[in-house]
Amino acid sequence: MSRLLRPAVVVWLLALIGSLAVIANTHFTADMSAFLPRHPTEQQSLLVDQLKEGTLSRTLLIGIEGSDPAGRAKLSRGLTRALMQSELIATANNGSDESSAQERELLFRHRYLLSPAVTPEHFSVEGLRESIANSIDMLASPVGVLLKKLLPRDPTGEIMQLFSALGGGSMPNSQFGVWASQDGQRALLMVQTRAAGSDTDGQEAAINAVRLAFAEAAEQSAIDDAKIELSGAPVFAVEARATIKSEIRRLAVISALGTIALLGFAYRSATAIMFGLLPVLSGALAGIAAVSLGFGSVHGITIGFGTTLIGEAVDYTIYYFVQSSSADGDRAQRWIERFWPTIRLGVLTSICGFAALLGSGFPGLAQLGLYSIVGLITAAAITRYVLPIICPAGIGQRPLGNGGLGKRATAGLMHLNRLGAQGRGNWIVIGLALCAAAVIFQARDRLWDDRLSGLSPIPPAAQALDQKLRSDLGAPDLRYLVIIRRHGQEAALAASEEAGRVLDRLVDANVIAGYNSAARFLPSQASQQQRRDALPERAELQRNLNEAVRSLPLSASRLGGFVDDVAAARTAPLLDRDQFQGSSLAMLIDSLLMHRKTATGEEWTALLPLRAAAGQDIDPSRIQAALAAANIEGALCLDLAGESAQLYSAYLHEVILLSCAGLAAIAVLLTIALRSPRRMLHVLAPLLATVLIVIAGLSLAGIKLTLLHLIGVLLIFAVGSNYALFFDRPAGEAQAPLDTATLSSLLLANMATLIGFGALALAKVPVLNAIGVTVGPGAVLALLLAALLAKS
Amino acid sequence: MKRLAALICLLCLATTASAAWDVNQLMNDLAQKTGGRARFVEKQYLAVLDKPLVSSGELSYTAPNRLEKRTLSPKPELITLDDDTLYVERGGKKFSLRLSSRPEAVAFVDSIRGTLTGNRKLLEASYALILTGTQANWTLRLLPSDSEIAVLLRSIDIRGVRDRVTSVEYQLADGDRTVMTITPVETSP
C-alpha cells in the first residue's frame, strides 16, 4: 500500500482524476470547424462566415428520380407543400407557380416603395406617357402575355423589373410545371434549412424531415418507384460528421485490439498488457483534457489521431519491459541508466515535431500537436516514474526473441544491423534513396493536389451528384460577392443601394450579367421615404394620366386600379423585414443582409452576389476599382473560389514553414544532445532516405500529396528518430550490433507504431488517411534503414 | 354479307376520292419549301387597349429549324428561333429562352414550325387539325389538345394559297387575338 503513496504515483492519480473531470465537461465536435482557419484575415473571415452561416450553407438540392414525369411532378408538389409547413425548413421551391405566388404578390403590393424608377417626374404627364407607351410596346413582345393582365394596375411597368430581379439568371428546365433536370429524368427542388451551416444537429433534423416528407408524399400519391436524392452543404456537413464519428470508433477499436494482440503475442501475460497500456491510456486522457482546456472543444479528428498515440506511447513500456528483461539485479534501475537517456531524447524529438503543429492556423493540426505533446510526455513520464514503482517484479520479462515468428523477425533485423555495422548497408540505402529521388523527379508535376477539397471528407460520388444537381438547377455558385459592412441596417442598405448603382453601370457595360442585393427587396428607409413622397395626390395623378394617355391607345378609364393603388401606396407604412416574414423573400433578405452582435455593437453585412455573363469570368479587381471610384467605404469584391484556393495555399505555405521549423528544432536538439554534427547526421540520414522512399511510394500508388502528407513527413522525423537514436553511439564506442533484447524491443515498438498509424491509413477521412499512409510505412522504413546505416 | 362488303368498298372509294387534296397533300406542298423571306404586318387586338397594336417587319425562314422575326416598326426587335432556343433582342438588351422549359411556348412555336416544314406529326403532337377550303385557298385550323395550352389558346387559323402561308391568326382564350398577314419578298437568286 505504501507504494501507492509515493509522490510520483499520487501526482499521476491526481492528474488522472483531473483529466477525467475535464473530459466529462468537454464539448466534442465533428463539424467542418477543424478545416477553417483559427486566425482568419478579413477576407477569410468572410469566407468562413459564408461557410458557417451563408445561404450556401443552408441550401439543400433535391432530386426526385424514378416513376414517370407526371408522378415526379406530383411528388415534387406534395413534398414542397409539406416542407413549406415544416418548422425546420425556411423555404422550399420546386419552380411551380404556387411556390412563388406569395413572393410575387408581396412584390406587386409594395411595388411603389420598391421600384427605383419612382420619382416625381415618373408621374408627370411626360413621365407617365413615356412609361405607359413603353409598357404598350412590351405587350407586343414575347413577354406580353404575362404583362397583359397586370397592365391596368401597373401601366408604368414597375413590376416587370422586380420580377426579373427575383428570377435573376437562367431558370431551370420545367416538366409538368415543376423544375426538372436537362435530361428530363428527375424533378428538382431547392430548399433552405432554417438551421445555419454551423448547426449540424439542426441540419440533420431538417434533412430527416425532408426524407420523411418525401416518404409521406410518396405514400399519399401511391407512387412507390421513385426515390429522393439530397445534396448540398447541409448534407455534406451531416455526412462528414457521421463519417468522422464512425471512423473514430472503428479506428480506436482496430488499433486497440491490434496493440493488445501484439502485446499479448509478445508478453503472454494479461497483467503485462494491462500495465503496458496504463501509460498510454493516461497519456490519451491527459491529451484530450489538455486540448479541451486549450481550445474549448475537442474535434473528432483529434480523437481519431489519438489512435496513433496508442501505437507510439506503448513503445515506452515495451522498451521498459523488454529491454530491462536481460538485466540482472534492480532491472528498473539498470534500464533507467542504460536506455532512459535515449528514450528521453526520442520523446524530445517527437515533441519538437508536434510542437511545430501548435503554431498552425489550421485548428485540427494545432489540436493534434497539443494532444500528442501532452500525451507523449505523460506516457513517457509514467513509464519512467510510475511503472517502476507499481509494476510487480517479473512482469513482461519474456523477450520477443524467444518466440518463433518474433525470433525470425528479430534475426532479420539483426542481419540488417550486422550489414550496417560492417558498413555495407550504406550503399543499399543510398541506392534506394536515389531510385526514390528519380521517381519523385519524374512525377514532380503531378505530385500535388492543390485544392482544399483534397482535404474534404466528402466522397467523390457525392461531389459528382452535387455537381449534377447544381448545374441542372442553375443554382448560383455564389462565387463572386461584393461585401459591405456597416454598424446599422439602414446604413448597410443605403451602402448597398450606392453599390447597386455602380453595379448597374457595370451591367450596362457588360462587365457583369447581373447582381442581387437585399436593398432590391428591402430598400433603405430613406429611399422608401423618397419614393413614397414622390407619389402624387389622387386628383393630380388622375389629371396627369388623362393628359398622358390622350395620344395612346389606352383610355384612362381602364386604369382605375392604378390610380387606387398609387393612392393606397401614399399612406401605406414603409416596408421592414417583418412584412416579408413567412415568405422566401425573408430568407433571401436574411441571406443577403447578415446581422450579428459583436463586441463593438451590431454589425450588418450586406452581400451582393454577382452573376457572370455566360462564358465569361468576372475580374474582381475591376469591380473593386469601380467601387473604390464611387467612394463606397469598405466595399470589398471577393472571389470565394479564389479565396478558398488562397486559403489552401496559405495553409500549405504555413505547413511548409512549420515543417521546416519542426525539422530545424529537431536538428538543433540532436546537435545539442549528441554534441556532434556527425552523429546528428547519422540519426537524420535514415530518416531523410525514408521520407524520399515514402513520397516516391505514394506517388507510384497514384496518391496526390496534400498538406497533410507534408505533416506526415514531419512526423516521420518526429517518430522515426526514436528508432534511429538507438543505433547511435558516441564516436569512441565499438560499433557492435545491438543485442537481441534491444532489437526485439525496437521491433515490437515499431510494430505497435505501425498498428497505430496503419489504422489511420484505413480511415476514409482524408486528413487521417494521409497521415496514416505517410507515417505508418515511414516508421517501419526508419527502423530498417537506421539498422542498415548503423555504421556511418 | 355481300351488301356490307360492297358498302365498305364504296366508303373506301369515297374517302380516296375526296382525299385528292388533304392534310397530307398540304403538308407535302409545304415541306417543299426550304426557306424564304416575307414581309409581315401583325395586328394585336387586345381587350385592354382601345386600338389594335400594329407592328411590321420581315420574316425569314431557313429549313428546317431557323426562323427569324425582325420587327422594324414601331420599335425594332429581333426574335430568332434556333432549334430549341428563342433569342430576343430589344432596345439594346438581349435575352434567350430555352423552349423546353415552357411547354406553352413550345406549342406556339411548333404551330409555326410544323406548318412551315410541313411536319404533320409535330402539329398533331399538340393540336387537332381541321383543314377546310381548296388548294388555292385553304385554312388549317389548329385546336390545342393539351388542356394546359387550351387555358391560353383557343385556336390558330393558318390560311394559305397552295404552298404559301398568307396569314396566321391566334385566338387567345381570354378573347384577345393576333392576326399576322404575310406577303412574300421575291428574292433574286
Name A194's Cβ contacts closer than 8 Å, sequence gap at least 6: A58, A87, A88, A89, A90, A202, A206
Q: How many CA atoms lie within 13 A of A318 on its CB side?
A: 28
Higher-confidence residue of A96 and A286: namely: A286
Do B48 and A172 make contact, defined as CB atoms within 8 angstroms?
A: no
What pLDDT, on the 0 to 100 scale, is given for residue B98? 65
Residue A659 belongs to some domain of the structure: yes
Partner A contacted by B79 (CB < 8 A): yes
Nearest to A320 by CA among A8, A742, A6: A742
Residues 36-65 of B with CB under 8 A from A: 42, 44, 46, 48-53, 55
What pLDDT, on the 0 to 100 scale, is given for residue A52? 75
User: What CATH number corresponds to the domain at position A190?
Assistant: 3.30.70.100
- From chain A, which residues contact B within 8 Å (Cβ)? 136-137, 139-142, 144-145, 148, 151-152, 170-174, 177, 553-555, 558
Q: How far is CA A228 from the centre of its chain?
A: 26
Q: How many CA atoms lie within 13 A of A487 on its CB side?
A: 4
**For B6-53, how does the pLDDT look when each residue is reduced to its tens digit (9 = 90+)?**
555 444 444 444 445 788 888 888 888 777 888 999 999 988 888 888
Residues 120-149 of B with CB under 8 A from A: 148
Q: How far is A555 from chain B (nearest CA, A)?
A: 7
Residue B181 near residue B33, CB atoms below 8 Å:
no
Mean of pLDDT values over A182-192: 85
Higher-confidence residue of A745 and A36: namely: A745
pLDDT band at A327; cut points 50, 70, 90: very low
A245 and A189: one domain? no
Using CA atoms, how far residue A381 sits from A19, A275, A277, in Å, is: 16, 14, 14
Higher-confidence residue of A693 and B23: namely: A693
Partner A contacted by B25 (CB < 8 A): no
DSSP string across A707-772 = HHHHHHHHHHHHHHHHHHGGG---TTS--PPPPHHHHHHHHHHHHHHHHHHHHHHT-SSHHHHHHH
Using CA atoms, how far residue A214 sits from A65, A782, B26, B34, in Å, is: 12, 55, 50, 50
Rounded distance between C-alpha atoms, residue A684 and residue A663, angstroms: 10
User: End-to-end alpha-carbon separation of chain B, Å?
Assistant: 62
What pLDDT, on the 0 to 100 scale, is given for residue B187? 56
With a pLDDT cut of 90, the percent of chain A lying above it is: 28
Mean of pLDDT values over A91-95: 83
Mean of pLDDT values over A78-88: 90
A208 and A295: one domain? no
C-alpha torsion A424→A427→A432→A438, nearest 10:
180
Fold of B23-184: outer membrane lipoprotein receptor (LolB), chain A (2.50.20)
- Omega of the bond prior to B64 within 30 degrees of 0, cis? yes
Rounded distance between C-alpha atoms, residue A175 and residue A69, angstroms: 7
Higher-confidence residue of B91 and B151: namely: B151
Closest to A139 (Cβ–Cβ): which among B44, B71, B77? B44
A386 and A348: one domain? yes
Partner A contacted by B99 (CB < 8 A): no
pLDDT at A177 over 80: no
**For A17-28, how does the pLDDT look when each residue is reduced to its tens digit (9 = 90+)?**
999 999 888 888
**For A706-761, how does the pLDDT look when each residue is reduced to its tens digit (9 = 90+)?**
888 888 898 899 889 888 888 876 655 555 567 777 888 888 889 989 998 888 88
Partner A contacted by B66 (CB < 8 A): no
Mutate to test the interface with B, among A148, A149, A473, A550 (most CBs of B within 10 A): A148
Q: How far is B49 from chain A (nearest CA, A)?
A: 5
Strands A89-93 and A186-193: antiparallel
A276 and A191: one domain? no
Residue A188 near residue A80, CB atoms below 8 Å:
no
pLDDT at A477 over 70: no
pLDDT at A644 over 50: yes
Helix (H, G, I), strand (E, B) or coil at B73: strand
Q: How far is A461 from chain B (nearest CA, A)?
A: 28
Residue A325 belongs to some domain of the structure: yes
- Weakest mean pLDDT among A222-226, A264-268, B155-159: A264-268
A758 and A710: one domain? yes
Minimum CA–CA partner of A151 in chain B = B48
A245 and A336: one domain? yes
pLDDT band at A703; cut points 50, 70, 90: confident
Q: How far is CA B4 from the centre of its chain?
A: 41
A248 and A332: one domain? yes
For residue A144, list chain B residues with Cβ-Cβ distance below 8 A. 44
Partner A contacted by B94 (CB < 8 A): no
Residue A157 belongs to some domain of the structure: no
Do A142 and B97 make contact, defined as CB atoms within 8 angstroms?
A: yes
A335 and A437: one domain? yes
What pLDDT, on the 0 to 100 scale, is given for residue A92? 86
What pLDDT, on the 0 to 100 scale, is given for residue A169? 47
**For B68-125, how does the pLDDT look when each residue is reduced to its tens digit (9 = 90+)?**
999 998 888 898 888 777 888 877 667 766 676 566 677 788 888 888 888 899 899 8
A148-152's contacts with Cβ under 8 Å and 24+ in sequence apart are: A148/B46, A148/B48, A148/B174, A148/B176, A150/A108, A151/A554, A151/B48, A152/A558, A152/A559, A152/A560, A152/A561, A152/A562, A152/B48
Residue A118 belongs to some domain of the structure: no
Do B49 and A553 make contact, defined as CB atoms within 8 angstroms?
A: yes
Mean of pLDDT values over A565-590: 86
Mean of pLDDT values over A501-527: 89
Mutate to test the interface with B, among A132, A170, A551 (most CBs of B within 10 A): A170
Do A136 and B49 make contact, defined as CB atoms within 8 angstroms?
A: yes
Residue A522 belongs to some domain of the structure: no
Closest to B50 (Cβ–Cβ): which among A141, A145, A554? A554
A312 and A195: one domain? no
Do A142 and B152 make contact, defined as CB atoms within 8 angstroms?
A: no
Do B48 and A553 make contact, defined as CB atoms within 8 angstroms?
A: no
Among A198, A214, A231, identify where a domain stops.
A231
Residue A232 near residue A203, CB atoms below 8 Å:
no
Nearest to A585 by CA among A41, A85, A81, A165: A165
pLDDT band at A400; cut points 50, 70, 90: low
When divided into structural domains, chain A yields a total of: 2
For residue B171, list chain A residues with Cβ-Cβ distance below 8 A. none
pLDDT band at A401; cut points 50, 70, 90: very low
Mutate to test the interface with A, among B101, B147, B152, B179 (most CBs of A within 10 A): B101
pLDDT at B158 over 90: yes
Highest mean pLDDT: which range of A280-294, A414-428, B1-15: A280-294
Using CA atoms, how far residue A221 sits from A67, A175, A210, A213, A224, in Å, is: 12, 18, 16, 12, 9
Residue B53 near residue A552, CB atoms below 8 Å:
no
**For A195-216, how does the pLDDT look when each residue is reduced to its tens digit (9 = 90+)?**
888 888 899 999 999 999 999 9
What pLDDT, on the 0 to 100 scale, is given for residue A792? 45
Residue A658 near residue A360, CB atoms below 8 Å:
yes
Average pLDDT, chain A: 84
Handedness of CA A485, A487, A488, A494 (dihedral sign): negative
What pLDDT, on the 0 to 100 scale, is given for residue B189? 42
The DSSP H or E segment spanning A15 is: helix A7-24
Mean of pLDDT values over A250-274: 86
Higher-confidence residue of A252 and A575: namely: A575
Residue A425 near residue A788, CB atoms below 8 Å:
yes
pLDDT at A393 over 70: no
Residue A431 belongs to some domain of the structure: yes
What pLDDT, on the 0 to 100 scale, is given for residue B11? 46
- Weakest mean pLDDT among A454-468, A680-694, B33-47: A454-468
Residue B162 — φ and ψ, nearest 5°?
A: 50, -120
- Weakest mean pLDDT among A146-160, A344-358, A520-534: A146-160
A275 and A350: one domain? yes
Domain that holds residue A90: 56-95+175-231
* A582 Ramachandran zone, left/alpha/beta (phi>0; psi -120 to 50): left
Strands A27-29 and A297-299: parallel
Q: How many CB pairs under 8 A join A and B?
A: 49
pLDDT band at A35; cut points 50, 70, 90: low
Cβ of B23: how many Cβ atoms within 10 Å? 17
What pLDDT, on the 0 to 100 scale, is given for residue A293? 93
Taking 3-state DSSP, the helix, strand and coil percentages for chain A, each rounded to the nearest 5, stand at 70, 10, 20
A444 and A373: one domain? yes
Among A231, A252, A277, identify where a domain stops.
A231
pLDDT band at A32; cut points 50, 70, 90: low
Residue A484 near residue A495, CB atoms below 8 Å:
yes
Do A173 and B101 make contact, defined as CB atoms within 8 angstroms?
A: yes
pLDDT band at A304; cut points 50, 70, 90: confident
Name B162's Cβ contacts closer than 8 Å, sequence gap at least 6: B29, B135, B136
A315 and A410: one domain? yes
User: End-to-end alpha-carbon separation of chain A, Å?
Assistant: 50
For residue A151, list chain B residues with Cβ-Cβ distance below 8 A. 48
